[in-house]
Amino acid sequence: MTARNQFLLSGAAVIAMLANAAPAMAQSAPADAAGIDDSSNNEIIVTAQKREQSLQDVPISMEVVSGAKLAEFNTSDIKAVMNYTPNVFVQSTAGNDVIYIRGFGSPPANFAFDQSVSLYVDGIYAGRNRQAQAPFFDLERVEVLRGPQGALFGKNTAAGAVSVVSAGPTKDFEGAITGLYNFDHKGTDFSGYLSGPITDTLGARFAYKIVNQDGYIYNRAKDHDDPEIKSQLLRLTLKWEPSANFDYTAKVEYGNREVIGGITVSSPLTSDQDPQTDRYLERSALGDEGNDNKSVMISGVGNLALGDFTLTSVTGYSWFKSKIVNGFDQTIPNSGGAFTANSVYNAFPERFDQFSQEIRILSPVGETFEFIAGAYYDKSNYTLEQYQGFNIPDLFLTIPGATPTDPRIPIYDGPYLARIDSIFRQKAESWSVFGQGTLNATDALRVIGSLRYTHTRKDGSFRTTLPYASDGLNGQPFALRPITNADGSISEGNVDPSVTVQYDVAPRVMLYATWGRGSKSGGFVSNTLGTVDSTFTFEPEQSENFEAGIKSTLFDGKVVANVSAYHTQFKDLQVSVYQPATSSYLTGNAASATSKGIEGSLSIFPVPNFDISASAAYSDIKYDDYPGAACLASQPVTCTPATNNLAGYPVAYASKWTGSVTAHARFDLSDDMKLDITGVGAGRSKYFNSDNQSPIFGVQNGYVKLDLRVQLADQDDRWHLALVGKNLTNQKTIGSAFNLPSPITPVPRAILYLEPTRNISVEAGIKF
Give per-residue pLDDT as tens, 206-255.
999 999 999 999 999 899 999 999 999 999 999 999 999 999 999 999 99
Closest CA to 761 of 80, 71, 187, 139: 187
Q: Which of 31-40, 270-279, 310-319 has the lowest mean pLDDT?
A: 31-40
Q: What does the alpha-carbon distance between residue 236 and residue 255 come to, in Å, rounded to a whole number?
A: 12
Q: Which of 15-24, 478-487, 722-731 has the highest mean pLDDT?
A: 722-731
Question: 8 near 307, Cβ under 8 Å?
Answer: no
The percentage of residues in the chain with a pLDDT greater than 70, rounded to a whole number, is 85
Q: Which residues pair with 651 in a beta bridge?
A: none
Mean of pLDDT over the chain? 86
Torsion-angle region of residue 727: left (phi > 0), alpha (psi -120 to 50) or beta? left
Give per-residue pLDDT as tens, 612-669.
999 999 999 999 999 988 899 999 989 988 899 999 999 999 999 999 999 999 999 9
Q: How many CA atoms lie within 13 A of 411 on its CB side?
A: 26
The pLDDT of 43-50, averaged and rounded, is 89
Q: What does the alpha-carbon distance between residue 520 and residue 127 come to, in Å, rounded to a whole number?
A: 11
Q: What does the alpha-carbon distance between residue 512 and residue 530 come to, in Å, rounded to a whole number?
A: 49
The pLDDT of 259-282, averaged and rounded, is 90
Give per-residue pLDDT as tens, 671-709.
999 999 999 999 999 999 998 999 999 999 999 999 999
Task: Spell out the residues 6+ positions from residue 249 whose beta carbon is closer than 8 angstroms to its own.
Answer: 32, 168, 237, 238, 239, 240, 299, 300, 301, 302
Residue 26's pLDDT band, with cuts at 50, 70 and 90, is very low
Task: Spell out the residues 6+ positions from residue 170 whose beta carbon is closer than 8 angstroms to its own.
Answer: 195, 196, 203, 205
Q: What does the alpha-carbon distance between residue 721 and residue 704 come to, in Å, rounded to a whole number?
A: 27
Determine the pLDDT at residue 133.
Answer: 65
Task: Spell out the residues 6+ positions from residue 8 whose beta carbon is closer than 8 angstroms to its own.
Answer: none
Q: What does the alpha-carbon distance between residue 261 and residue 348 come to, in Å, rounded to a whole number?
A: 15
Determine the pLDDT at residue 340.
Answer: 55
Say which DSSP state 469 is in: -
Q: Which of 6-15, 157-166, 575-584 has the highest mean pLDDT?
A: 157-166
The continuous run of DSSP H or E covering 15 comes out as: helix 3-19
Give per-residue pLDDT as tens, 579-622.
766 667 778 888 899 999 999 999 999 999 999 999 999 999 99
Is 16's pLDDT higher than 80? no
Q: Which of 126-130, 352-356, 501-505 has the lowest mean pLDDT?
A: 126-130
Residue 511's pLDDT band, with cuts at 50, 70 and 90, is very high
Determine the pLDDT at residue 390.
Answer: 65
Q: Which of 29-33, 35-39, 178-182 has the lowest mean pLDDT?
A: 29-33
Determine the pLDDT at residue 328.
Answer: 85
The percentage of residues in the chain with a pLDDT greater than 90, rounded to a whole number, is 66
Is 743's pLDDT higher than 60? yes
CA angle 397, 398, 402 (to 5 degrees): 125
Closest CA to 264 of 217, 213, 333, 215: 217
DSSP string, 169-224: --SS-EEEEEEEEETTTTEEEEEEEEEEESSSSEEEEEEEEEEEE--SEEETTTTE
The pLDDT of 567-588, averaged and rounded, is 83
Determine the pLDDT at residue 342.
Answer: 60
Closest CA to 195 of 216, 178, 173, 227: 173
Is 731's pLDDT higher than 90? yes
Burial of 473 from C-beta contacts in 10 A (0-12 / 13-18 / 19+): exposed
The pLDDT of 437-458, averaged and rounded, is 96
Is 414's pLDDT higher than 60? no
Higher pLDDT, 147 or 93: 147
CB atoms within 10 A of CB 455: 14
Structural domains of the chain sorted by starting position, each given as residue range(s) with its CATH number in brackets: 3-767 (2.40.170.20)
Higher pLDDT, 479 or 126: 126
Alpha-carbon radius of gyration of the chain: 26
Question: 393 near 82, Cβ under 8 Å?
Answer: no
Task: Spell out the residues 6+ positions from residue 405 whose beta carbon is closer than 8 angstroms to its own.
Answer: none
Is 100's pLDDT higher than 50? yes
Give the three-state DSSP class for 16. helix
Q: What does the alpha-carbon distance between residue 135 and residue 155 come to, in Å, rounded to a whole number?
A: 19
The pLDDT of 38-43, averaged and rounded, is 56
Provide φ and ψ at 69, rounded to 5°: -65, -40
Question: 703 near 683, Cβ under 8 Å?
Answer: yes
Residue 95's pLDDT band, with cuts at 50, 70 and 90, is low
